[in-house]
Homo-oligomer: A and B are copies of this chain.
Amino acid sequence: MARAIRRPHGERRRERGGAKVPQLPYRSLRNPFPPMGFIDEDALERIHQASLRILAEIGINFLLPEAREILRAAGAEVDPGSPRVRFDPGLIEERIRTAPSSFTLHARNPERSLPIGGSWINFSVVASTPNVSDLDRGRRSGNFEDFCNLLRLGQSLNIAHTTAGYPVEPIDIPPDVRHLEAVAASARLTDRTLYGYSLGHRRILDVIEMTRIVRGISHEQLLGEPSLNTVVNANSPLQYDKPMLWGMIEMARHGQVVIVTPFTLAGAMAPVTLAGALAQQNAEALAGIAFIQIVNPGAPVMYGGFTSNVDMKTGAPAFGTPEYAKAVLVGGQLARRYAIPYRSSNVNASNCPDAQATWESMMSIWACVLAHTNLVKHALGWLEGGLCTSYEKLILDAEMLQHMAAFLEPLEVDDATLGLDAIRDVGPGGHFFGTAHTLERYETAFYRPMLSDWRNFETWSEDGAKDATTRANRIWKQLLADYEQPPLDPAIDEELTAFVARRTAEGGAPAE
């Protein structure tokens, strides 16, 4: 299909960011419509109050003694000899107030920095999957070669604003140095924002330093310029573990972005009722956000929602369900209540990049967009409830996200677009193909897809009757063939190499 697209101007080719696959240009997106709420203000208040009661009466386990000491000093109720911490509602409400309502997440290429907050929407590539698959080679464990290729695809797709986390786990890189190799590869193969996993004290400090090197700025400048992001999932229900707490502490101290995301599957790690799961999500999120603000008031954070449900027959997690869409919308309402930027995800539970993967993703994407999600994680490539990255799904998602981006473009209604003269000239029973009004606009009038096939059945059949997933296979190969590595300042490249070499020689960072 790609070759059928007329690309008359070399100029436009470069602008569009890929030589042969037609794409929308890279741009920051915002939702011009009011956010959609799912519950009324009273119900929202009841969830808020329930989560405050959870924090006051039940409390949260903070497994790191240093974290409990910080909380005790700030006025939280810490049980001696127990990990349990309880919070007075006033303490939570006061502390979360210092979280900024918007900020810029800086990339090494300033044109790829992300506006976070308000009605901005950013899409990031799938992260943290243990497996990877494509139509040719099937499903296999994550590895560094696929990891790099997925970074290249994220860089090549204009609709992917960034990669936030390993697009597949590079299991063949030893764990102690994996963060060094993976972040160095991200910094070289993409010019987008960087991500670090909160897997302990030493590792997150390494990644913070690598981020500073890649951005070519001082330690002082980094403190004021969020340039790295991490997701912290609570160990739901009601628990934060040591490696994640170290991540929260060091990221906050360095002014970097923590996306606090309880993973609250209703019926498993949270109540079977969506209201209860959301109250628990909110309690965990507020505790994490308050903790970060106590560590460093004003540190950039995001409110992450990841409430879905399990299949009650099997206990298997389900994604992109009606319940998930509702939870995404209510999560957005809660985040707006606290004026904190919101993160949710494009998810599905299908085992292959098929119609189910697509409808579950569309349930997710529409909910994310209507909810004013500021960062849609896993927006491209996620399969199997997060257990696999699919090359073909990456392209299917790119197409769906481009559809949404085009949908969010406002509609111009003025004399020229109302076109009364054209309607008059054509008259009853005529057609508009050859009119001046059409010819002046036909190249740009409509969204042009990268993957949709609109040819008639006969032409499509003669060309092999390829379904969308099969065509997606061809597109990612074309994108990889056309990939161009973004230039990196040689001095920065050298400093990065030296840092990785030194830290590798020191043994990397063992698990804590």
Using a CB–CB distance below 8 Å, which chain A residues touch chain B? Answer: 4-6, 33, 36, 38-39, 43, 46-47, 50, 53-54, 57-61, 83-84, 139, 235, 237-239, 266-276, 279-280, 309, 311-318, 321-323, 325-326, 330, 349-363, 366, 384-385, 387-388, 396, 399-400, 403-404, 406-407, 409-414, 416-420, 422-424, 426-433, 437-438, 441-443, 445-447, 449, 451-457, 460-461, 465, 467-469, 472
Give A410 to B330 CA distance when docked, in angstroms: 12
Identify which of A404, A417, A424 gathers the most chain B CB atoms within 10 Å of its CB: A417
Q: Known: A273-B418, A403-B322. Contact between A312 and B443, CB under 8 A?
A: yes
Minimum CB–CB distance for A79 against chain B, Å: 12
Residues of B within 8 A of A454 (CB): 311, 314, 316-318, 349, 385
Contact B413 A275 (CB under 8 A): yes
Q: Note all chain B residues with C-beta closer than 8 A to A422.
A: 271, 276
Contacts of A429 in B (CB 8 A): 61, 235, 237-239
CB distance from A440 to the nearest CB of B (A): 9
A468 / chain B contacts, CB cutoff of 8 Å: 350, 354-356
B residues in contact with A396, CB < 8 Å? 355, 359
* A45 vs B359: C-alpha distance when bound (angstroms): 35
* Residues of B with C-beta under 8 A to A57: 420, 424
Q: How many copies does the complex hold?
A: 2
Instruction: Please measure, in the bound complex, the distance between the C-alpha atom of A445 and the C-alpha atom of B274, giving whole angstroms.
Output: 8
- Chain B residues whose CB sits within 8 angstroms of the CB of A441 once the complex forms: 272-273
Instruction: Name 7 interchain pairs, CB-CB below 8 A, sorted by A.
Output: A46-B413, A53-B420, A268-B432, A271-B419, A272-B441, A314-B455, A387-B457
Closest chain B residue to A283, Cβ basis = B423
Of B267, B275, B387, B433, the contact of A315 (CB 8 Å cutoff) = B433
| Cα separation A388 to B456 with both chains bound (whole Å) | 11
Asked whether, in the complex, the Cβ of A275 is within 8 Å of the Cβ of B418, the reply is yes
Q: Are A275 and B354 in contact (CB under 8 A)?
A: no
B354 and A266 form a contact (CB under 8 A): no
Instruction: Tell me the smallest distance from the CB of A29 to a CB of chain B, in Å.
Output: 13
Give the docked Cα–Cα distance between A377 and B441 (Å).
31
A385 to nearest B CB, angstroms? 8
* Contact A272–B437 (Cβ < 8 Å): yes
Query: A469's closest neighbor in chain B, by CB?
Result: B355
The residue in chain B whose Cβ has the minimal distance to the Cβ of A446 is B309
Residues of B within 8 A of A400 (CB): 359
How far is A269 from B419 in the complex, measured between Cα atoms in Å? 13
Please give, as numbers and ranges, the residues of chain B lying within 8 Å of A239 by CB-CB distance: 428-429
Interface pair A423/B326, CB less than 8 Å apart = no
Sample of 5 more A-B contacts, CB < 8 Å, known A237-B431, A279-B423, A351-B465 = A43-B413, A59-B428, A316-B456, A352-B465, A355-B468
Chain B residue contacts of A349, Cβ below 8 A: 452, 454
Contact A271 B437, CB 8 Å, known A39-B411, A442-B312:
yes
A461 and B417 within 8 A (CB): no
Query: CB distance A457 to B275 under 8 Å?
Result: no
Tell me which of B33, B275, B363 contacts A411 (CB under 8 A). Answer: B275
Task: Check A272–B403 contact: CB distance below 8 A.
Answer: no
The interface residues of chain B lying within 8 Å CB-to-CB of A84 are 428
A352 to chain B: closest CB distance in Å?
Answer: 5
A419 partner residues in chain B, CB cutoff 8 A: 271-273, 275-276, 279
Of B4, B238, B417, the residue contacting A428 (CB under 8 A) is: B238
Quick check: B407 and A58 within 8 Å, CB to CB? no
Contact B445 A266 (CB under 8 A): yes
Query: In the complex, what residues of B have CB within 8 A of residue A268's CB?
Result: 431-433
Kindly report which residue of chain B lies nearest to residue A467, judged by CB atoms: B354
CA A452 to CA B445, docked complex, whole Å: 37
Smallest CB gap from A269: residue in B: B431
Q: In the complex, what residues of B have CB within 8 A of residue A43's CB?
A: 411, 413
Residues in B whose Cβ lies below 8 Å from that of A38? 33, 411
Q: Which of A351, A437, A445 has the most CB of B within 10 A?
A: A351
Asked whether, in the complex, the Cβ of A353 is within 8 Å of the Cβ of B356, the reply is: no
